[in-house]
Amino acid sequence: MLTIAPDIEVLARFGRALADPIRCRLLLALREAPAHPADLADRLGISRTRLSNHLACLRDCGLVVAVPVGRRTRYELADERLGHALDDLRTAVVAVETDRATCKDAAEKDCC
């Protein structure tokens, strides 16, 4: 059981980062390969301004880092283990989603 405040805070930051679909898409894109902001904006179909705000959030959460490459900046996951964690989390979510169909209270209580 997690009781150490820093561990709980890190998990909470990770949860906040994943709470937005665009940030989830960004993390999954960066899981595939590092990329420049313009390429990420095009890939996700969002404006560069909007992308910049989401990248700033992910940087503040410690999940991505900006790497200077000449006059440009490339973004990548802060740690390769984050890619593995995202894979594990996606697998777990798929399992939970499958189980949701068997939860009798899901629709009534909006719990699952």
Give residue 85's Cα distance to chain centre.
Answer: 10
Phi then psi for residue 109, to 5 deg, are -100, -5
Tens of pLDDT, residues 30-58? 999 999 999 999 999 999 999 999 999 99
Tens of pLDDT, residues 58-88? 999 899 999 999 999 999 999 999 999 998 8
Please give the model's pTM, rounded to 2 decimal places. 0.78
